[in-house]
Amino acid sequence: MNRIRYFLIVAAGFLAFAACEQIPESRRTNLQELMQRQDSLAAIQRRDSLAAHAAANKPKTAEQYLQEDARLAPTMSLAKFTRHMQSRKGFYSKYKEVKYEDEFVKIKIGEGEMKIETPEGKAKFEKDESKIKTDTY
């Protein structure tokens, strides 16, 4: 079975080669130009799709990352959210100052300090000290 398949592939290749040899030179040039145009069109389409992909996947800003973290605040207690934000402190340390505020949470991260405020209370972290003050007892 494989020998027959191999024979058919070789025969098809030979026939294709023979057919190309019989094409007049002017027509062969036209075919080559057409193939080059198709290649350049494909290259343009690839370039455009890559540009669209790059535009759609722009790197996020620090504020966008902070907004994603802030979405977790309503689902967690102040203490748990504070621990989460402490774990992200290293990531945000490369930015000078990042702020986010919505109806539920207010976050401010600056050089060496982080402040979090929710309806449950406030948390403040400095380089050497941390405080959590809750409004509920």
Q: What pLDDT score does 105 carry?
A: 92
On whether both 72 and 107 belong to a single domain, the answer is yes
On whether both 52 and 70 belong to a single domain, the answer is no
Residue 81: give the domain boundaries: 62-134
**CB contact burial 16-43 (16+ within 10 A = b; e otherwise):** eeeeeeeeeeeeeeeeeeeeeeeeeeee
On whether both 45 and 71 belong to a single domain, the answer is no
Residues 72, 67: Cα–Cα separation, whole Å = 9
On whether both 69 and 41 belong to a single domain, the answer is no
In the Cβ-directed half-sphere of 129, how many Cα atoms lie within 13 Å?
Answer: 2
User: Is residue 136 within 8 Å of residue 79, measured between CB atoms?
Assistant: no
Percent of the chain residues topping a pLDDT of 90:
4
On whether both 39 and 79 belong to a single domain, the answer is no
Residues 125, 132: Cα–Cα separation, whole Å = 9
Residue 33 in this model has a pLDDT that exceeds 60: yes
pLDDT band per the 50, 70, 90 thresholds, residue 89: confident
On whether both 92 and 121 belong to a single domain, the answer is yes
pLDDT band per the 50, 70, 90 thresholds, residue 107: very high
How many independent structural domains does the chain possess? 2
